[in-house]
Structure 1
Amino acid sequence: MDINDLRSLLTVAGLLCFLAIVGWAYGKGSKKGFEEAANLPFAEHDDQAAMACPSQPR
């Protein structure tokens, strides 16, 4: 086994990892979790921040 065989194996392994990540990201089960994560900045959990800075109006 020379360096070119190792490079080929690493290229194939990288491609398989990439395809696995793409399959996970676009899978049917992942959509709900991604939508929840996307809406986290808009969640109504600002009570602790409002208590820390009472002088700022909401």
Structure 2
Amino acid sequence: MDLDLNSLRAGVTVLSFLAFCGVVAWALARRNQAAFDEAARLPFAGESASPSEGEPR
């Protein structure tokens, strides 16, 4: 079997697409939703409703 450069490129493309589909499936899995929701709230964890003393307004 003669493996040329175009066959290698096609194989890498297919593997990359499968890896992409795997990442999308992992990101959308319901079992990960709680962890992602918690991570999404991290930037706001230290903020309060009113500015504390010593901070510029």
TM-score under structure 2 length normalisation: 0.74
Structural RMSD (CA):
2.3
Q: 1:3 is matched by which residue type in structure 2? A: L
Structure 1 outlier segments of 4+, above 3 Å:
54-57
Structure number with higher helix proportion: 1
Matches of 1:55 and 1:28, distance apart in 2: 42
Q: Does 1:31 align with 2:37?
A: no
Q: Which runs of 5+ in 2 are unaligned?
A: none
- Equivalent residues, number: 52
